[in-house]
Amino acid sequence: MKATWTLAVAMWRGFIREKMGVFWIIVFPLMFLVLFGGIFNDSSQSKSELLEIDDVALIDDLPDAARAHFDDAFDVEQTDDAEDAIRQVRDGDVDAAVEQDGDRLVLHYSAADMTTAATVQGLFGSFVDGANVAATDQPPAYQLETQQVEDESLDVIQYLTPGLLGWAVAMNATFGAALTLVQWRTTKLLRRLRLAPVSTQSIVSARIVVTVAIALVQLAIFVAIGTAAFGLELVGSWWMTPPLLLCGTLAFMAIGLLAGAISKTAEAASGFANFIVLPMAFLSGTFFPLDQTPEWIQHLSLAFPLRYLNEGMLDVMVRGQGPSAALAPMAVMLGFAAVIGLIATRFFRWEAD
Amino acid sequence: MAVIDVSDLRKSYGSTRAVDGVSFSVESGEFFGILGPNGAGKTTTLEIIEGLREPDGGEARLFGISSWPRQARLLPRIGVQLQASSFFERLTAGEQLSTFAALYGVPDSRVGEMLELVGLRDRADIQTEKLSGGQMQRLSIACSLVHDPELVFLDEPSAGLDPQARRNLWDLLRSINADGRTVVLTTHYLDEAEILCDRVAIMDHGRILAAETPTAFIRGLDAPTHISVEPGVVTADNATDVPGVDEVTDDGDRLTLATREPAQVLTALAERNALDGLAVRGATLEDVFLDLTGREYRA
């Protein structure tokens, strides 16, 4: 127990003192979170830019509820120079310009971007129709209500955070185990420890302690940044995340130990680890939701422990599921850890030759 | 009682017999050297004795206990210095020692003593990667001594050191042995073995050719003494005529006379006032090696 703690402290110091390593394990996946979070959050609320020439009574007189809808769809700017407004539409600086002449509304659009033109025309047409119905003082005969099929809370950031966190944890656990094993074998530190009264279990346990500690740091940073910057909301039994991370860490460490056991050099080990982790990340729903992928990918993803970690974390962090939702993924990952770990011990070597 | 008792060790890698029937024993408090060129089988022999490798045949006993398979109760009694790179990454010199002290369950106060012993007290807070080669070498010796072992193994400790660092290291190794520890050292440096070791085993092609004290080796060799002077103070022909001279060689830089009666030859040279640039070299372990193997020593 004391040996485990001593080794864990030594490994932890070695980890935090290597600034590049900390960057790759913590900052690099975080960059994806910031990048994707930024991209997708922006695109979901893109508005059409509209120039209002002089006063357009239709817009200005919209009732409050309709006006709010209108502002969701359009960014309106006022101008009194009609010629300049039309020139801006032609140049593509704004999407459309509108003027009102009595009961007649004129919408200027550019045919250069047909999609935008159609969107603006459609949207604007619907507001005009709405205003027409309102002018008759009759309740509308039909009402349209739209509804997203996914859980409303499942914003982009909601599935991105668990996915990228899973990937970050997988990288840390796999590379940490693989490189520690190869480097310690190369420098003969492994041999040095074998000559000290230290058991193999102590060495492996120390690596697990450090890797899980790093995973918890990753969890804290991801959740903090996701919540503060991108409106991540934890719902459900999110406190089941640490146990999920523990099981995931064990599975990925087993992969790393296998990579380290069969590789002679650090370069080979890191290549092998990359070969597993990168495709695994793509196929396990780290960068895009799995339900948007072809069926064969969904079947293939069942072969990777990261899929279970991602699913488990989605369930308990953002899908509002109870703690029992984490149990099945945990069991599967422990199974992975046991099987791959057993294979790794078959290839394990103390010495470089 | 013999601290190390090795009998008929054998180890082959493929068709290469790395260790081919090695037997010797080392007494308590002895400074024992295994000398041989690279590839002679020194390191493999040491690794089997330390319990890191299983011998194909034979047995190594430490304190009367067989070292294979790995014996947990033997480990606190032996200290093994490996290559200078065998450290935890990015720990300071002090932290390396603390870590090893904790692993062996000895108090942290040993760390200061060890740093003092190897002259690294002022480097305690420096990361190992930033130490010089000699400092790393001394730190790795300190790590192998932190638990106060009775028996210390050193595998080519002075490899890659500059002459100054080597001399510092030799002083350290002598003091370790003077404290009463048994020290086993492998080296391919003849001078190192000659200066440090009480007894030297000369090894080549996986066998121990002979094991003796360095002086006994040289005395038993009956090798000629080489007396050299500056060229010109005496001609080669004149030198050949000096009684007692067996052979004269002139390499243009020095005139060298080989003799088994150095007193007689030196007197004769003095009478001729031909002692300018005089140098006298007795036989060394190098001559012993040449005599034993029939070939030049190449480290």
Mean pLDDT of B251-278: 86
Query: Nearest chain B Cα to A7, which residue?
Result: B99
Tens of pLDDT along A55-86? 888 788 888 877 887 887 888 888 888 888 88
Average pLDDT across chain B, whole number: 89
* A156-186 helix and A305-313 helix, angle to the nearest 10 degrees: 140
**Is the CB of residue B126 less than 8 Å away from at least one CB of chain A?**
no
**Cβ within 8 Å, pair A196-B75:** yes
C-alpha distances in angstroms, B141 versus A17, A47, B191, B221? 25, 71, 20, 34
Higher-confidence position of B232 and A43? B232
Q: How many CB atoms lie within 10 A of CB A248?
A: 31
Q: Which of B88, B111, B143, B145 to mutate to test the interface with A (most CBs of A within 10 A)?
A: B88
Which domains does chain B carry?
2-213 (3.40.50.300), 224-282 (3.30.70)
Q: How far apart are CA A223 and CA A312, in angstroms?
A: 16
**Is the CB of residue A153 less than 8 Å away from at least one CB of chain B?**
no
**Is the CB of residue A188 less than 8 Å away from at least one CB of chain B?**
yes
Please tell me whether residue A95 adopts helix, strand or coil conformation.
coil
Both tokens of residue B282? 């007795």
Cβ proximity of B64 and A174 under 8 Å:
no
For residue B45, pLDDT over 90 is answered with yes
For residue B38, pLDDT over 90 is answered with no
Chain A residues touching B156 at Cβ < 8 A? none
Query: Nearest chain B Cα to A16, which residue?
Result: B90
- The widest CA-to-CA distance across chain B, in whole angstroms, is 71
Q: How far apart are CA B56 and CA A321, in angstroms?
A: 60
Tens of pLDDT along A118-141? 888 888 888 888 888 888 888 877
**Cβ within 8 Å, pair A6-B87:** no
Q: How far apart are CA A189 and CA A207, in angstroms?
A: 14
For residue A45, pLDDT over 60 is answered with no
**Cβ within 8 Å, pair A13-B95:** yes
Question: Residue B130 has what pLDDT?
Answer: 95
Chain A to chain B Cβ contacts (< 8 Å):
68
Both tokens of residue A69? 């809808």
Tens of pLDDT along B107-158? 999 999 999 988 899 999 999 999 998 899 899 999 999 999 999 999 888 8
Question: Residue A47 has what pLDDT?
Answer: 76
* B214-221 helix and B285-293 helix, angle to the nearest 10 degrees: 60
**Is the CB of residue A10 less than 8 Å away from at least one CB of chain B?**
yes
For residue A30, pLDDT over 90 is answered with no
**Is the CB of residue B70 less than 8 Å away from at least one CB of chain A?**
yes
Confidence band of A149 (pLDDT split at 50, 70, 90): low
Mean pLDDT of B1-20: 92
- Which residues have a Cβ under 8 Å from the Cβ of A110 and sit 6 or more positions away? A89, A90, A92, A96, A116, A117
Chain A residues touching B75 at Cβ < 8 A? 195-197
Query: B 4-63 residues with CB below 8 A of A?
Result: 50-52
Question: Residue B84 has what pLDDT?
Answer: 63
Q: What percent of chain B has pLDDT over 70?
A: 98
**Is the CB of residue A22 less than 8 Å away from at least one CB of chain B?**
no
Cβ proximity of B203 and B299 under 8 Å:
no
Q: What percent of chain A has pLDDT over 90?
A: 42
Chain B residues touching A195 at Cβ < 8 A? 50-52, 75, 78, 80
B198 φ/ψ angles, rounded to the nearest 5 degrees: -70, -35
**Cβ within 8 Å, pair A6-B102:** yes
Q: How far apart are CA A146 and CA A72, in angstroms?
A: 15
Tens of pLDDT along B154-183? 988 887 788 888 888 899 899 999 999 999
Cβ proximity of A21 and A14 under 8 Å:
no
Question: Residue A42 has what pLDDT?
Answer: 53
Confidence band of A150 (pLDDT split at 50, 70, 90): low
Chain B residues touching A17 at Cβ < 8 A? 90, 127
Tens of pLDDT along A191-228? 999 999 998 889 999 999 999 999 999 999 999 998 98
For residue A333, pLDDT over 60 is answered with yes
For residue B238, pLDDT over 70 is answered with yes
Q: How far apart are CA A110 and CA A118, in angstroms?
A: 10
Question: Residue B216 has what pLDDT?
Answer: 87
Question: Residue A153 has what pLDDT?
Answer: 45
Q: Which of B13, B54, B89, B154 to mutate to test the interface with A (most CBs of A within 10 A)?
A: B89
Above 0.85 for ipTM, yes or no?
no
SS (H, E, C) chain B: CEEEEEEEEEEEECCEEEEEEEEEEEECCCEEEEECCCCCCHHHHHHHHHCCCCCCEEEEEECCEECCCCCCCCHHHEEEECCCCCCCCCCEHHHHHHHHHHHHCCCCHHHHHHHHHCCCHHHCCCEHHHCCHHHHHHHHHHHHHCCCCCEEEEECCCCCCCHHHHHHHHHHHHHHHHCCCEEEEEECCHHHHHHHCCEEEEEECCEEEEEECHHHHHHHHCCCEEEEECCCCCCHHHHHHCCCEEEEEECCCCEEEEECCHHHHHHHHHHCCCCCCCEEECCCHHHHHHHHHCCCCCC
Chain B residues touching A350 at Cβ < 8 A? 52
**Cβ within 8 Å, pair A351-B52:** yes
Q: What percent of chain B has pLDDT over 90?
A: 49
Question: Residue B295 has what pLDDT?
Answer: 72
Mean pLDDT of B33-57: 91
For residue A152, pLDDT over 60 is answered with no
Both tokens of residue A189? 């530190």
Q: Which of A2, A183, A186, A187 to mutate to test the interface with B (most CBs of B within 10 A)?
A: A187
pTM of the model: 0.77
The minimum CA-CA distance between A9 and chain B, rounded to whole Å, is 9
Confidence band of B247 (pLDDT split at 50, 70, 90): confident
For residue A41, pLDDT over 70 is answered with no
Q: How far apart are CA B20 and CA B35, in angstroms?
A: 16
Please tell me whether residue A49 adopts helix, strand or coil conformation.
strand
Chain B residues touching A196 at Cβ < 8 A? 75, 100, 103-104
Mean pLDDT of B84-101: 92
Average pLDDT across chain A, whole number: 87
**Cβ within 8 Å, pair B86-A7:** no
Which domains does chain A carry?
2-41+155-347 (no CATH), 46-135 (3.40.190.10)
Query: Nearest chain A Cα to B49, which residue?
Result: A195
Residue type, B262: P
- Length of chain A, in residues: 353
A150 φ/ψ angles, rounded to the nearest 5 degrees: -70, 160
* Ramachandran area for residue B41 (φ above 0: left; ψ -120 to 50: alpha; else beta): left
- Which residues have a Cβ under 8 Å from the Cβ of A352 and sit 6 or more positions away? A185, A186, A188, A264
Half-sphere exposure in the Cβ direction for B284 (13 Å, CA): 13
Mean pLDDT of A149-159: 65
**Is the CB of residue A195 less than 8 Å away from at least one CB of chain B?**
yes
Q: How many CB atoms lie within 10 A of CB B258?
A: 17
- In sequence order, the β-bridge partners of residue B62 are B4, B65
Chain B residues touching A19 at Cβ < 8 A? none
Report the relative pairing of strands B151-155 and B78-81 from DSSP bridges: parallel
Tens of pLDDT along A216-262? 999 999 999 989 888 888 888 999 999 999 999 999 999 999 999 99
**Cβ within 8 Å, pair A197-B80:** no
Cβ proximity of A89 and A96 under 8 Å:
yes
Q: Do you find a cis peptide bond into B224, omega within 30 degrees of 0? A: no
- In sequence order, the β-bridge partners of residue B12 are B17
**Cβ within 8 Å, pair B52-A18:** no
For residue A91, pLDDT over 60 is answered with yes
